[in-house]
Amino acid sequence: MATTVIMPKLGLTMTEGTIEKWLKQEGDRIEKGEPLVEIITEKINFQYESPASGILRKIFHHEGETVPVTTPIAIIAEEGEAVAEVEIAKPEVPVEIPLPAAVQKESREPTKRIFVSPIARRMAQEKGIDLSSIKGSGPMGRIIKMDILKAPGKEVAPAMQRPSERLIPLKGIRRIIAKRMTESFQNVPHFYLSLEIDMTSCLVLHEQLREEMERRTQLRLTLTDLLVKTTASALRDHPIINSRIEGDQIHLIEEINIGVAIALEDGLIVPVIHHADQKSLTEITSTLRDLTHKAKEGKLSLEEVGGGTFTLSNMGMLGIDKFNAIINPPECSILGVGRTVEKPVFHGGEIKVRPMAWFSLSSDHRIVDGATAALFLNQIKKLVENPTFLLI
């Protein structure tokens, strides 16, 4: 009996999924339980196993397409087994599937058929002439060779330059980033505060701790680890920043779960250090190292990317001085940290060379105002410049 493969619901809140990769092609034999298709949801990559044995007779949705759960995506049937043509041609679709933008555009503007002789078509293509701009002189207005020869000799029409473009479909993680960031940037009223922080004490502490931690645990402490610790401590003093907005209510969140932005080859992912305020520096370092490793292997679980209440994005190692990050919804704020640069600054009435770094906080103006966010950012400055305060 033919089996219709659907876009499976894989979690309580999943409403749609994207086909990342078909692991079998039409005509391939597949056994029940064998990996069939890679599906990507808002949060995870999932290798879906075939629900039946047989031949993959028809694929309805191709790589990069996003469809609602329970939409038929393929048919598996035995070799030679009759699968009703209707079934293959028109899968029963429970919910209307939005067509990809490009397809919609094409179908909305039906192209007028142009009658043209094959040689005229080829010549027009070679000369870069747009056929719709030519009036044919052949029978019934058919465009013939003469019409092309007489046409003004523009070498390459702008429209014909398109083939030199390379198209990358928005899929997988790229698509999710596009969706979430657009949502955030359109719906959340962002505002940005920046200040420059003297990193001297922090670097000294980092140096000392790094040696000691490496000796004790073989873990290599990074500046980001220290910043996670500092931010978690500042958040405890400013609970309003550790919040999200839902309807007409602001939810203050008890747990302090800090997401750390990690750049991958194909995008950006933000694994979360849960209860960051309750973790020791060693625990933060080891958790973040573990999460980074898993992120690179694509092995992060749902819990490990969910539940964040604040995000930290450090672009220092990428040579960036200062940047304004887009809030990672539904969080209230995100902190963007730039590189540390030695600069001449006034210090105790003298010009001194000090290592300085820009910290920029992006916040949701619905939840906090400038003054509140400024207090929080200044608290971070105070802690970074006096890291021993973390002991209090």
Partner 1 sequence: MALSLDKEFCLRMYKQMLTIRMFEEKAIELFEHNLIRGNVHPCIGQEAVSVGVCSSLRRDDYMLNTHRGHGNCIAKGADLKLMMAELLGKATGYCKGKGGSMHIADFEGGNLGANGIVGGGIPIAVGAGISIQNRGTDQVVACFFGDGATNQGTFHESLNLAALWKLPVVFVCENNLYALSTPVREAISASRISDRAIAYGMPGISLNGNDVIEVYTKTKEAVQRARAGEGPTLLDCITYRFFGHFTGDPGRGITYRPKEEMDEWLNRCPIKQLKERLVQEKIMTEETGKEIEANVKTSIEEGVQFAKESPFPSADEAVQDVFFEMM
Active-site residue numbers?
A: 365
Per CB under 8 A, the list member of 6, 19, 37, 384 interacting with partner 1 is 6
Residue 6 C-beta: closest distance to partner 1, Å: 6
Candidates 2-10, 159-167, 199-207, 382-390; binding stretch for partner 1 (CB under 8 A): 2-10
Residue 12 touches partner 1, criterion: CB under 8 A: yes
Q: By CB under 8 A, tell whether 36 contacts partner 1.
A: no
**Binding-site member from 157, 159, 204, 302 for partner 1 (CB under 8 A):** 302
Which is nearest to 225 in space by CA: 169, 273, 270?
A: 273
- How far apart CA 110 and CA 156 sit, in angstroms, is 25
Residue 11 touching partner 1 (CB under 8 A) = yes
**Two structure tokens written together for 138:** 């052949």
Smaller CB separation from partner 1, 38 or 385: 38
Decide if residue 134 touches partner 1 (CB under 8 A): no
Nearer to partner 1, 300 or 334 (CB): 300
**Rounded CA gap, 358 and 261, in Å?**
17
55-74 residues in contact with partner 1 (CB under 8 A) are 69-70
Count the Cβ atoms, other than its own, within 10 Å of residue 366: 13
Token reading at 20: 């990342």
Backbone angles phi, psi at 348, to 5 degrees: 60, 40
Contact assessment for residue 335 and residue 357, using Cβ atoms and an 8 Å cutoff = no
Query: How far apart are CB 259 and partner 1 at their closest, in Å?
Result: 18
Q: How far apart are CA 299 and CA 183, in angstroms?
A: 26
For partner 1, the closer of residues 292 and 362 by Cβ is: 292
Identify the residue whose tokens are 């849960």: 274
Candidate list 44, 134, 197, 295; residue touching partner 1; CB under 8 A: 44
- Residue placing its CB nearer to partner 1 in the complex, 132 or 301: 301
Q: Which of 137, 217, 301, 386 binds partner 1 (CB under 8 A)?
A: 301
| Site for partner 1 contains 91 (CB under 8 A) | no
Q: Quick check: 355 binds partner 1 (CB under 8 A)?
A: no
3-state secondary structure of 322: coil
Is 282 near partner 1 (CB under 8 A)?
no
Characterise 30 by phi-psi region: left (phi > 0), alpha (psi -120 to 50), beta (else): beta
* Distance between CA atoms of residues 110 and 293, nearest Å: 50
The kind and range of the H/E element at 352 are strand 350-364
The contact set with partner 1 (CB under 8 A) reads 6, 8-12, 14, 44-47, 51, 69-70, 294, 299-303
